[in-house]
Chain A
Amino acid sequence: MIRSHLRPIVVLAIASILVGACSSTPATQAPATAAPSAAPATAAPTAAPATAAPTAAPATAAPATAAPATAAPATAAPATAAPATAAPTTSAAAGGGGPLTVQLFDAVDSFFPWGPIGTYSDTLLFHLQWEQLAAYGPDGDPQMRLAESITASADAKTWTVKLKPGLLWSDGTPLTSKDVIFTWKINANPGQSYNSGLWTGVVGVPDWQKGTDHSKDIPGITAPDDLTIVFQLTEPNAAFLGPLLNFRNHILPSAQLLALNPNHLNLSQKDNWALPFWTAPTVGAGPYLFEKWETGQFLSFLPNPHYRTGPLPASRIVAKLIFDRSVAAAQLQSGDLDVALINLDDEDGLAAAGFQTAVKISPPPEMTVLNNSPLSPFHDVRVRQAFMYGCDRQGFVDGYLKGKAQKVDTYFFPDWVPKDGIKVYNFDLQKAKQLLDEAKFDYSRTLIWVSYDKDDKPMQASAEDCQSKMKSIGVKIQIENSLETETKRRADGSYDLDSYGYYTIYDPDNVSLPFTCNAGPKPANGYYAEGPNQANYCNPKFDELMARGRSISDQAERAKIYAEAQAIWLEDVPSMIQYRPATPWAWSTKIQGIVPYGDQGEIFNTIAQWTKTN
């Protein structure tokens, strides 16, 4: 018998558990077999999702998110060598192996490839559910996937994609050029895609983008047959492979999406984004297909019975949302995770504990933009060079990063751009001081160094390391880490250095976008607040060389041009490239077939071959 004075407490306690237990059915999204509702959201929201896409960018800008191939396209020859196996025409059996448990290390929101988030984990989902025409391998070599070949004409104005024959969607319907055309109508639509600016160099796209009916064909993207897609460009672009292989370019099912809504291509961003299909897709061409989404915990995937390479080894993929690398390492050790993105510090311990580990250099470098505008002392090239000498980038890599990173001396990464005799800025404080004195640097001024990512400890540490080195020669630097500060200072140009990771350079043409002279009237204070050229750098000769390099197909010729551009860039050093960080992976010895990538979002590129032995 419960005494009356105890009853309230007991009731409170039991009530809270009961309420939770009775409503504790895990929040599960619709399983893959259920057809989502066709109607877009009609209820009046208080605010639309933040997914409005920008208007078209000028055609001359090189694609920003592109990661072009290291191999330049040869005349009428396949762009890359890749396994050109035909897709199976009959259903493949589901995997006979056990489930694989993998990690999603960022928030995920949607299977829609061109949304605003673009985290690594979003990309991981895309690689499971969808498929690209081609993708970059771990060392930057393009690998064909749905495409059998991607070739360019001699003048680099016509790019032809050939699909592999016999490709199927997971529901058994054929995957053809119609799906690719449909996909590009979404991709190029500023009302639906954040990558629409990449396609303004394709014939007819700018006018098409301004039109109101985006179901109409794009003049410059045609499909002469079910297996062929042709991209016609307004100007020669030898680096066009990069935009084609952009990590977001996953082919979508046209018939299935149009069946849900015939007006899909003209949906507003809000209505498209609200489609249940993007959080519970019912069809795909990727290796493993969405099964269920346990909110806040994991997503699970089942093998695609019609996957292009045949039967898949795993019976299920469980992708757990684990944001903390220490927690991931713990779950790896307890057997609750098969593959983990870990901390560098944990690598040795896990290797000693018998796990397989790999540390791959990440393609995108850590970069510190120097404010080249008249608002900053970095307007003077000698000050920029002084910092290149004064910050001990190699010492930081060897010390703080324990050698598990790569100091970089040039931004023109591809091996085919000659590096012999390039200007290398080795650590030399004396030289730094000399240059600062020559530039009559104002030592009383405190330089402002901003970065917004407080969680990126190595980036913060490298700034502090440079700060202390420069302090020894009298340079005062104040480091500010916050989103608010970065946003404000970028808006009014009141910063001197700005750190953030940059994107991968698989083709040297990619260097042009962030360092091209800004178009448009020059602001009174000389500082362009927006646009991709954060460094406010302008060298017409550099621009001319980059434009010329883009227009030539022959790689040897391009190499000479880019070597010249590289020399200018290294003399001017508009930004300080610091290092390429390392991406440490660890996995159970029971797992075979893993190919670790430096780019965290790309490791699932090879998931179709991962097997788990008991």
Chain B
Amino acid sequence: MGRWLARRLIVAFITFIGITMMVFVLMRLAPVDPVDLLVLKLQTQGGGGGLTAADIEKLRIRLRQELGLSEPIFIQYLLWLREVISHGSLGYSFANGRASLEVVFERVPPTFILMGTAFVIELVVGVPLGILAALRRNRMTDYVVSAFGLSVIAVPTFFLALASIYVFSVQLRVLPPGGMFDPTASHVDPVDVLRHLLLPATILGLAGVGPILRYVRAAILETMSKDYLITARAKGLGASQTVLRHAFPNALLPLITVMGLQVGGLLAGAFVIEQVMTWPGLGKLALDAIRARDYPVIQAFAVVTAVMVLTGNVLADLAYAYADPRIRME
């Protein structure tokens, strides 16, 4: 097990380095860099403070040097890596000079809360519905549940979010329309945070219910056709008992892997929800940084999300190995 875990971690680490290199290079290969963007903004926001062509050219050269963009990309990457190893620094935001890792870490907890809660909702709603659909196969319940699963996959998340705000916040006024807590309150109340969390987490969770529900249903149906389960039924075990005590546990194992992969999907969905519902998470930060070509923040974001996703996958693999003795024996 130890050797397996070590191998897994090494692979994860190599993947991580590859991701950071890829993001680093792709950013710098994009046609418009932060200097171009800044000059364009200066020019379109009223002529650039009186700058002549010569001034702008000098500005470009100076900015590129100060930002380390005048070196070849490979050298830039090595310099960046050196700073990471020697100072633990991923750079400083071009927008406000703050340490990019600090800027990103501020946004991680809200995203974690949102994703974690949505994850639970996915399981709590998706798994029982999947079992129910499997038990009531080809009956009305199955059709309704399956249709529900398809509809939450088909409806765009942002639309669902806007519609929910309209219904629950504007019309019914039972839930707040955005943010993480009431800004006018004198202190942060956990109950208030939960109220603010309910809508975004539910929408994000529902978006993931569809795949879970359909997967559980299919997995259980496939397992139900196994000989040992037919035998169990033949011996008089009830349908529910057969599913819950025998079919479901065996269908569960691949579900762990699916859940591990859901981390990426949850992250992507969280970004949309954060924009619409002004949840102060990573997604909004990433979009703003990309728009502004804030390379250090983009890089720090890539590092943090890569760690999150890779860790999620490793944990899922661990969980899988723990749950399935055959994996441990291998």
Contacts and interface: CB of A to CB of B under 8 A. Distances in A.
A259 interface: no
Contacts of B285: 296
Given A52-B62, A297-B278, A26 B49 contact: no
Contacts of B51: 54, 57, 64, 197, 531-532
A532 B280 contact: no
A503 B46 contact: yes
Nearest to A501: B44
A513 B52 CA distance: 10
Contacts of B90: 46
Given A65-B45, A65-B46, A487-B36, A47 B91 contact: yes
A195 B49 contact: yes
A375 interface: no
Interface residues of A, number: 108
B96 A110 contact: yes
Contacts of B280: 26-27, 294-297
Contacts of A11: 319
B307 interface: no
Contact of A13 (B98, B123, B173): B123
Contacts of A486: 40
Contacts of A502: 46
A443 B282 CA distance: 50
B261 interface: no
Given A47-B295, A198-B50, A483 B113 contact: no
A9 interface: yes
Interface in A4-21: 4-9, 11-13, 15-21
Interface stretch (A323-331, A468-476, A541-549, A562-570): A323-331
A266 interface: no
B184 A20 contact: no
B242 to A, nearest CB: 16
Interface footprint category on B: 35 or more
Contacts of B188: 26
Interface in A485-501: 486-488, 490, 500-501
Most chain B CB neighbours (cut-off 10 Å) among A25, A294, A486, A528: A294
A46 B79 contact: yes
A598 interface: no
Interface in B273-314: 275-281, 284-285, 288, 292, 295-296
A191 to B, nearest CB: 10
A278 interface: yes
Nearest to B284: A296
Contact of B53 (A64, A274, A514, A531): A531
Interface stretch (B135-143, B146-154, B161-169, B219-227): B161-169
A316 interface: yes
A536 B178 CA distance: 47
B44 A270 contact: no
B170 A278 contact: no
Interface string A282-318: 0000000000001111101000000000000000101
Interface in B72-98: 79-80, 83, 87, 89-98
Contacts of A48: 66-68, 92
A100 to B, nearest CB: 9
B98 to A, nearest CB: 7
A24 B48 CA distance: 41
A49 interface: yes
A84 interface: no
Contact of B109 (A24, A297, A320): A24
Contact residues of A: prevailing secondary structure = loop
B107 A296 contact: yes
A5 B41 contact: no
Most chain A CB neighbours (cut-off 10 Å) among B67, B92, B259, B281: B92
B200 interface: no
Nearest to B39: A530
B16 interface: no
A12 B316 contact: yes
A57 B49 contact: yes
A12 to B, nearest CB: 6
B320 interface: yes
Most chain A CB neighbours (cut-off 10 Å) among B48, B123, B165: B48
Given A41-B92, A109-B95, A298 B109 contact: no
B83 A19 contact: no
B31 A45 contact: no
A555 interface: no
A327 to B, nearest CB: 6
Contacts of B117: 17
B38 interface: yes
Nearest to B68: A47
A519 interface: yes
Contacts of A6: 249, 252
Contacts of B58: 54-55
Interface string B169-186: 110010011111101100
B35 interface: yes
Nearest to B105: A27
B94 A50 contact: yes
B265 interface: no
Most chain B CB neighbours (cut-off 10 Å) among A15, A487, A531: A531
A274 to B, nearest CB: 4
A273 B97 CA distance: 6
Interface string B99-124: 00001001111111111110110010
Nearest to A193: B49
A7 B36 CA distance: 53
Contact of A46 (B46, B92, B114, B181): B92
Contacts of B93: 49
B256 interface: yes
A355 to B, nearest CB: 12
21 contacts: A12-B259, A13-B123, A46-B68, A46-B91, A50-B67, A50-B94, A64-B48, A65-B49, A117-B41, A197-B51, A273-B97, A279-B98, A294-B180, A318-B184, A327-B277, A330-B166, A336-B178, A483-B40, A501-B44, A518-B53, A529-B53
